[in-house]
Structure 1
Amino acid sequence: MGNKPDKFGIKFWLAADVESKYMLNGAPFLGKDETRDKGQLVGESVVLRLAEPFLGKGRNVTTDNYFTSLKLATTLQGKKTSLLGTVSKMKRELPPSAKDQAELFSTKVLKCGDATLTIYQGKPRKNVCILSTVHTSVSITDGPKAKPESVIYYNNTKYGVEVLDQMARKYSVKASTRRWPVAVFYNILDLAGINAHILFKECTSSHIARRKFIQQLAEELRGQFMEEKRVHQLTQGPSQQRHQSPQPTPKRRQCQIRRSCAQNKTNHTCCKCQKPVCGNCTGRTEVTCVDCDA
C-alpha cells in the first residue's frame, strides 16, 4: 500500500493499550479465514478475536472505519464492552443525511438503541461520523470549533497502535532478508522488546530509556550465550582448543569477521568460533579470528 509507512510486507492485526502502548494481542493476516462465521465481516471477526481475553470486564475498544459497524457495537455491548470508532461513508447502515454537507463546525446526533452516531462537520467539504456505545448523550464543548464529546474521546484514544508501530520502527532488530518467516520473527522480537520495557518500568518504577534498556537486554542475552559457550569449550580441554590445526572447508565462503577485508572469500575457519576467516582478519599464525584472539 503506497500511502502507508510500510508499503509492503505481512500485515499484523494488533490491539494495544492506549496509555502504556503495551501490545495486548496480535495475529498475522493469513488471507481467507475458514473459522470466520458466515456473513461476518473481516473487521468484525478481527476485533472479536483480539478483544476476546478482555470481554466482559467493562473495557472500551476504539477502532477505525475499517472495523466499526453497528452489528459489532451491538455484539460487544452484549459482552459488557463498549465500542467507539469512525464509520466509513460506504456503510449501508448510515442514513443518507450522514453524507450531506452541513454548516462548518456543526454537529448532528442520531441514536439507534444504545448506540449514538455523531456527525461532525470539521472541514468545509468533509465531515466525520463516529459511532459510540460509550456516550448515551453527546455534549458540545465550548470553543471556536465546538467539538462534540465523542470526537474528543476518539482523538484521545485512537493512537495506541500507531504509536506502537512508530516505536517498533525506531529501534528494530530487522535485517535484510528474503525469507518472510524471518521477517515475521524480527517483528515479534521488536514487539516483545517494547512489552518488556513497559513491564520493566511498571514493576521497578524505573525511568530507563528504551534504547538503554534494549542494550542491556542484548548484553544479558549475549552473556548467557557466551557463558554456555565457555563451559562447552572448557569441557573439550585446552590442548584441543589451542593446538587445533586449520581445517579447510570444502567450499570457499565469505569472511564473516570483516575487520580488515571487503568480504574476501576463504577456505579456512577459526579454530574457536568456527567462522570463515580470511588472511587479512587472522589474529595468529594459526587460523584464529581477531574477535576470539582478543
Structure 2
Amino acid sequence: MAKYTNEQIKRISSQFIRERHCTETNEIELETLLGLLLFAGVRKNCRLNAKDLFKTDGSSPEIFRLTMAWNRFYLLLRCLRFDDKDTRVVRASVDKLAPIRELFEKIIDEFKKYYSLSQFVTIDEKPEAFRGRCNFRQYIPSKPNKYGIKIYALTDAKMFYTQNMEVYVGQQPAGVYRLDNSSLALVLRLSEGIYNTGRYITCDNFFTSIPLIDKLESKKLTVIGTLRKNKRELPKQFTEIRGREEKSSLFGHRGNCTLVSHVPKKGKNVLLVSSMHDDVKIEIETGKPELIMDYNATKGRVDTVDKMCETYNVARDINRWPMVIFYSLMNETGINSYVLYLQNNPNKKVNRRTFLEALSYDLINSHLRRRAANTLLPKTLKLRLNEICKLDGPESAATSNNNKIGRCAFCTSKKNRKTRYNCVKCKVYFCMEHALMVCSDCYSETSA
C-alpha cells in the first residue's frame, strides 16, 4: 500500500505549489491512517467531513489534530492505492477486481490462517452500500442499502468470525478469473477450506439445492437450508398447501437428506431440506419441527456480522469502488481480531468498542512518538503529545515543565546563556544552539 500510494502521490505532486504539501508516505503513517479510520468508526464520526474531524474548538476528538493535519489526512485518503496503476489496464482485461485483488486475497489468506471454525458455519451475501460508477454494482430492493457491491461470506455461526469472502463481479473476461457464478459453485468455493471436516453449513434458498447436498456429501459436509418452491426435485405434495391445517408438517426422506414442508399459518409454506437430520421430531411448545428450530438457531449469522460492521463502520463517503471493498475488509478485520483476542484471553471481559479503541491507539502511537520530536510543532501540542505517549526521552526534554534555570555548559562564560533545558541522562544544562534532536527509536537503541 505504501509503495502504490507513493506512486499516486508522485503523479499528482505537480498540482501543489509547495513540495512539502505533497510528501511521500510510509508504513508507519499508513498504520496511523488506519488507526484514525478505526477511531472515527468507534466514535461514529466516519461520515463527517475531514475538516470537522480536525476542528480546534473542542467539538472534535483531539487525537485527530494531534496525529496529523487535516489536509494530510485528506491527501492520504485521496492517494490511497492497492495496485500498480501503470499495469492495471492489462490486468483489468482479465480481472474486473484488479485494483484491489492482491490486497483482498492476502487478507483472506490471513483470515483462514489464524482461526479454526466451530461446528456450524453460515454462508450468505452481504451488500456494501455504493452508488458510484462500477460495472458490477448490484440492485437489491430487499436490502437496506439497495445499491451496492455484493460480497459472499462464510461466517462462524458461534463466534461471528468471517473466514472466507468472495466479491461478486458478474461474468469475468475470458481468463483465469472467469469462474462459475452459480449458487452451487459459490458454496463449493467458499467452503473449500473446510472440506472433509464434518461441519454443518446453513444457507438460504438462494444457495440450497438437492445437487448441492449431493456434492457436499462427498466432501463430508452437511447442509441445512430453505428451498424455493420452484425446484424441480420437489414432490408436488410438498408445494401444495391447499386443505392443510395450520402448524402441520409433512416430511420426506431420501438416502442422504430429509425434506420438510411446514405450514406456520394459513396460506404460507416453509420448505427446508437437511442432510444432518433423519427424524421427524416436533417441539411441543412451538409446534415446529426440530429441523426448522436448528435452522433458526444458525441462520442469519452473516446478517449479524453485517450489523456489527455497521455499528462501528469505518467507511467514508467515496467515489472509488475499491475503497468500498477496502473499508469492508477493515470492518471485518476489526471483528475477526476481536474474536481472536477473546479466544486467546478467555478470562478478560472486554467489549468490542473498548478493544477497537485500544487497537486504534496502538496503530497511532508510533506516529505520535515521531511527531513529538518535531521541533516546529507548537509547544502546547508537544506537551499534549508527551502526556499521551508518556515520553521520557530526548524528544520530551525540550518541552519539559522544568522551572529550574541553569547556565549552558557548552557556551562560553561571556555569553552567560541561561536555559531551562537539561539532558535527561547527565542533567547538564544546554541551550537550543547545542541541542541535538533524536527520535524515540534511535534513543531507545542508544540506551540499550
Name 1:105's counterpart in structure 2.
247
Task: Map 1:276-291 onto structure 2 (within 5 A).
Answer: none
- Match 1:83 to one of 217, 223, 241: 223
Q: Which has the higher helix share?
A: 2
- Match 2:192 to one of 52, 62, 69: 52
- Match 2:311 to one of 152, 170, 174: 170
What residue identity is the alignment partner of 2:222?
S
Distance in 1 (alpha carbons) for counterparts of 2:367 and 2:247: 61
Name 1:292's counterpart in structure 2.
none
Distance in 2 (alpha carbons) for counterparts of 1:95 and 1:18: 31
Task: Map 1:232-251 onto structure 2 (within 5 A).
Answer: 238=375, 241=376
Name 2:292's counterpart in structure 1.
151
What residue identity is the alignment partner of 2:146?
K
- Match 2:158 to one of 1, 15, 19: 19
Change (3 A) 1:228 1:96: farther
1:186 partnered with 2:359: no
Distance in 1 (alpha carbons) for counterparts of 2:158 and 2:332: 16
- Match 1:29 to one of 161, 165, 168: 168
CA shift digits 1:109-162 (9 cap, x unpaired): 11222111111111211111111000122211213x421110011010112111
Name 1:124's counterpart in structure 2.
266
Q: How far did 1:78 drift?
A: 1.1
Identity of aligned residues (%): 32
Distance in 2 (alpha carbons) for counterparts of 1:121 and 1:223: 58
Q: How far did 1:207 drift?
A: 1.7
Q: How far did 1:35 drift?
A: 4.5
What residue identity is the alignment partner of 2:224?
L
Name 1:215's counterpart in structure 2.
357
Distance in 1 (alpha carbons) for counterparts of 2:367 and 2:201: 41
Bigger relative contact order (CA 8 A; separation at least 6)? 2
Q: Secondary structure at the match of 2:232?
A: coil
Name 1:259's counterpart in structure 2.
none
Name 1:161's counterpart in structure 2.
302
Q: Secondary structure at the match of 2:269?
A: strand
CA shift digits 1:181-240 (9 cap, x unpaired): 111101110010000111111111222111111111111101123335557x5xxxx5xx
Q: How far did 1:27 drift?
A: 1.1
Distance in 2 (alpha carbons) for counterparts of 1:114 and 1:130: 14
Paired residues in the alignment total 232
Runs of 5+ unmatched residues, structure 2: 1-139, 378-448
What residue identity is the alignment partner of 1:47?
V
- The answer on whether the counterparts of 2:171 and 2:178 sit within 8 Å (CA) in structure 1 is no
TM-score, normalised relative to structure 1: 0.75
What residue identity is the alignment partner of 1:10?
I
My pick for the range that moved more, 54-63 or 88-97, is 88-97
- Match 1:196 to one of 309, 318, 337: 337
What residue identity is the alignment partner of 1:43?
S
Name 1:277's counterpart in structure 2.
none
Q: How far did 1:105 drift?
A: 0.6
